[in-house]
Structure 1
């Protein structure tokens, strides 16, 4: 099964007034990265990181704060919680807390990571961080560096847009070098790409807005990357389906 696209439409909540660049990760890029990681780095730290970023649409702060017990295999959910007194906070505070449903296959990958590859450590508050090093919870800044590395095209066996040889490129090698690559994708663009993908799956704007706890105006202004033509066609099709249901 393709791990890059969610089986369930679960929309992450957004923080009001967020400003973003006019860039986003498209589904083809997400599919290529996740397929490569599944094949060559199954259930690794990076596989789980990229998978949850795409499927939950969460910010790095939300991913950073995840603990092992925030994963619920029975319910097939990931819970994002605001715990500032313990060093992990959500940008929108308690209003940003949410439970995100994910596919069963994603839960299986996360469980395999926990069972096999995650270091058995706790952080300074006695919590078991999901994204851990042998020293405890990985810092948000380093999580972002992992994202920059795995979104460099050469990292997941794609041709370099600048036609550079990865063996001699100044951006390959370490995490700090990958951050400087002009062809990588920043974490927030994964979030925006995931949200746009769900909107393109014919989920009504109002339903997305309500699920995200953000106004339709803010959603349209900062996160909806569909063209005017795409929006019009989806509204037309949605209304046609509603009319058929009422007959």
Structure 2
């Protein structure tokens, strides 16, 4: 198996199955939480292979104004954050996933369904925050300890509880079930 070790411009480094996130404020790619947001994230082998395939086949060879090579690029350079969002939103529309509309619209007549550019006008198109919330809740539901999860997603437990833990009361109760023998 080929090992990928390459530095990319937005503070990401892929080494084996590890992503290294580094704050580079002086080079235009600062983290919201600054240096405290730096962390190493272990990724699955499947994701590593996907990234290797993307780099070898789809990634445009581009450098930024600081001479770094961003992981996600276009023919014009670094993939802008807004472009990433606009790429993600169209595939989250319910009509794409289920071939039906929860808003009782005809798919062949719906502007949001017919045009990638108009996808955000779908009432079910999420912003990035619900996508992040869903990912974090997914990890919680898979029994990730919050103390470890906060290291991975760079939020405090209080922020995670307030903004990102979307479990129902029943899901929270179920998550505590394994600790009943400690009573």
Please tell me whether Structure 1 or Structure 2 has the larger radius of gyration of its CA atoms.
Answer: 2
The structure with more strand, counted as a fraction of residues: 2
User: Is the 2:20–2:41 contact (alpha carbons within 8 Å) kept by the matching residues of 1?
Assistant: yes
Q: What is the RMSD computed on CA atoms of the aligned residues?
A: 2.4
Partner of 1:79, secondary structure, is strand
What is the aligned partner in structure 1 of residue 88 from structure 2?
Answer: 147
- 1:71 paired with 2:49, answer no
Residue 95 of structure 1: CA displacement? 0.9
Partner of 1:171, secondary structure, is helix
Partner of 1:100, secondary structure, is strand
User: Is the 2:10–2:70 contact (alpha carbons within 8 Å) kept by the matching residues of 1?
Assistant: yes
Residue 195 of structure 1: CA displacement? 0.9
What is the aligned partner in structure 1 of residue 67 from structure 2?
Answer: 126
Mark the runs of 5 or more structure 1 residues left unpaired by the alignment: 1-63
From 134, 141, 150, the equivalent of 1:193 is: 134
Counterparts of 2:20 and 2:55, CA distance in 1: 16
**Residues 169-197 of structure 1: per-residue CA shift (max 9 Å, x gap):** 11134443112211112222111111111
Residue 96 of structure 1: CA displacement? 0.9
Scaled by the length of structure 2, what TM-score is found? 0.82
User: Is the 2:11–2:24 contact (alpha carbons within 8 Å) kept by the matching residues of 1?
Assistant: no
What is the aligned partner in structure 1 of residue 4 from structure 2?
Answer: none
Residue 233 of structure 1: CA displacement? 2.9
Q: What is the aligned length?
A: 175
